[in-house]
Amino acid sequence: MAYADGLVCIRCGRKYTEGIHLEGCPRCMAAGTPANLAPSYDLDKVRSSFTPENLVGRRHDIWRYHELLPVGAAPRTGGIGWTPLMQVDTGAGRCLDGKCRDIHLKLESQNRSSAFKDRLATVSVAKAKEMGKKGIVLSSSGNQGVACAAEGARQGIPCVVLVPSDITPVSVASLRLFGACVIMAPDVEVRQQMVMAMARERGWFAVTNVCRPPIGSNPWGIEGYKTISFEIAEQLGWEVPDVVVVPASIGDGLWGVWRGFTDLRDLGLVRKAPRMIAAEVIGPLAHALECGLDYVEPVPDRPSRAYSIASSTSAYQALKALKDSGGDSCVVSDEEMVEHARLLARTDGMLVELSSAAGMAATARLMEQGKIGRDERVVVVITSHGSKTVHDLMDTGPSIPRLDEPSLERLEDILGLQS
């Protein structure tokens, strides 16, 4: 049964009952204030079915929350969602120096393709099939493409991924192994124009943003990120944290997580929604908040190894999530991200992508500034595993010691041990 009953503009509130508008709300676009759309739901119908009692015994993936996803029939796929929520009580918490007593990590690295992008991918592919699309097409520098290629293979639908010239060999290999058609287009505007053309003129489903300035990815797919919020609330016994920290670029994940908490609040399942924090690298959201803007303008760019979130602009949806939640943005450096990624690796045995470590770096900074209180409950979303980009965390260090003969004395000397 489908509970979604249309699309609504997240800025002006205008409702659209038919079709999909790739450029968001036509009225806001014409007014020069581009904004994405979001699915609306018959909450009375949802309320009768979506209850904690009814969730007992359901499958442990994102489709356990099917009433608040925009697909009529859940696909028979697994391995996406219901990721661990780990309370930090070991090494990662030491960097906070006792400034917070209750911090959890939402380990999205445990999804099937090792990233939270799987959630958008499975909903996008299911919706594309439901709409009778020929295939899915997107622009991606890595994780989103891999997630969509994997889900396309799983659900049996063609996938075309347009990639930049600096995409990692590991990502290219993964895309091809999953059967995606990979096309290199160095210019981001060329990639977006071709995604738009494939959608408008050839009947394909556009997964990612096609607009400049950006409005966000396909609104149907973004709904998959809401399930992060549903899981956090359920895993905490239907309690909501005070603060949720999400690494952000154009803000699909940030907006989706915020929408999930507001859904739960509107249904009366939780009492409040958390403050949302965007962990940024370049800082367009921080700039918009500081200047009191109701839109996001580009800021000067700079190079960063956390390329998946290193954007000099963002989307209104991300700014709206921060403003509506009373949240904030924190801009972190590559050095801070590397420090926290290494700390997670060496004290918690956790390998995370550099951009994922932005959440921990932002949390530490905001606690140091007193913007996150000692007694507040914080959830940091760890967005991706670090195996595809482990080189970003490596330093040259000393050369590897060599042992040519089976000498215990020599081994102890290398290890600095005394016999």
> Using 50, 70 and 90 to split pLDDT, how confident is the model at 178?
very high
Residues 250-277: b if buried by 16+ CB within 10 A, e if exposed: bbbbbbbbbbbbbbbeebebbeebbbbb
SS in 3 state form for 150-209? HHHHHHCCCEEEEECCCCCHHHHHHHHHCCCEEEECCCHHHHHHHHHHHHHHHCCEECCC
Query: What is the average per-residue pLDDT within 410-416?
Result: 89
In this prediction, residue 97 carries a pLDDT of: 53
- pLDDT for position 398: 72
According to DSSP, the β-strands at 159-163 and 85-87 are unpaired
Rounded Cα–Cα distance for residues 283 and 329 (Å): 8
Residue 213 to residue 228: CA distance in whole angstroms? 27
Please determine, for residue 145, whether its predicted confidence score (pLDDT) is greater than 90: yes
Kindly report which listed range (84-98, 151-165, 284-298) carries the lowest average pLDDT score.
Answer: 84-98
d(CA 345, CA 95): 13
pLDDT at 293 > cutoff 80 = yes
Instruction: Decide if pLDDT at 266 tops 60.
Output: yes
Q: What is the DSSP letter of 10?
A: T
Q: Where are the alpha helices (DSSP H) in 218-356?
A: 219-222, 226-235, 252-266, 284-291, 316-325, 334-348
Q: pTM for the full model?
A: 0.94
Q: What is the pLDDT of residues 24-70, one digit of tens each?
A: 999 999 999 999 999 999 999 999 999 999 999 999 999 999 999 99
Report which of residues 166 and 256 the model is more confident about. 256
Q: What is the rounded distance in angstroms from the CA atom of residue 159 to the CA atom of residue 179? A: 8
pLDDT at 40: 96
Residues 164-176: what's their mean pLDDT? 94
Cα→Cα distances 139→128, 130, 132, 161, 196, Å: 16, 22, 21, 6, 10
Instruction: HSE, CB side, 13 Å, CA atoms: give it for residue 312.
Output: 7
Per-residue pLDDT at 417 exceeds 90: no
Distance of CA 53 to the CA centre of its chain: 28
Cα end-to-end distance, the chain, whole Å: 71
Is the pLDDT assigned to residue 76 strictly greater than 90? no
On the question of pLDDT at 6 being above 70, the answer is yes
**Confidence at 17, pLDDT banded by 50, 70, 90:** confident
User: What's the length of the chain?
Assistant: 419
Q: What share of the chain is helix, strand, coil (3-state, %, to 5)?
A: 40, 15, 45
Q: Within 13 A of 282's CA, how many CA atoms are on the CB side? A: 23
Task: Please state, rounded to an integer, the average pLDDT across all residues of the chain.
Answer: 93
Q: Which of 66-80, 140-154, 212-226, 358-372 has the lowest mean pLDDT?
A: 66-80
Question: How high is the pLDDT of residue 2?
Answer: 79
- pLDDT of 201: 95
Contacts of 13 (CB under 8 A, 6+ apart): none
> In the structure, what pLDDT confidence band is assigned to residue 100 with cuts at 50, 70 and 90?
low
Architecture of the domain whose range is 85-114+221-392: 3-Layer(aba) Sandwich (3.40)
Percentage, residues of the chain above pLDDT 90: 82
Question: Does residue 402 carry a pLDDT above 80?
Answer: yes
Residue 379 one-letter amino acid = V
* CA 246, 230, 388, 172 torsion-angle sign: negative
Q: Confidence class of residue 356 from pLDDT cuts 50, 70 and 90?
A: very high
- Determine how β-strand 85-87 pairs with β-strand 102-107: antiparallel
Cβ partners under 8 Å of residue 405, min gap 6: none
- pLDDT given for residue 388 in this prediction: 78
Q: 204: which 2 tokens?
A: 């394909």
pLDDT reported for residue 391: 76
pLDDT at 48: 94
What's CA 72's distance to the chain center, in Å?
Answer: 24
What's CA 174's distance to the chain center, in Å? Answer: 19
Closest CA to 267 of 29, 20, 48, 95: 48
DSSP code, position 217: S
DSSP label of 61:
S
| pLDDT value of residue 120 | 98
| Distance between CA atoms of residues 4 and 24, nearest Å | 17
How confident is the model at residue 396, as a pLDDT?
56
DSSP notation for 323-342: HHHT-EEEE--HHHHHHHHH
The confidence score (pLDDT) of residue 231 equals 98
> Is 113 in contact with 150 (CB distance < 8 Å)?
yes
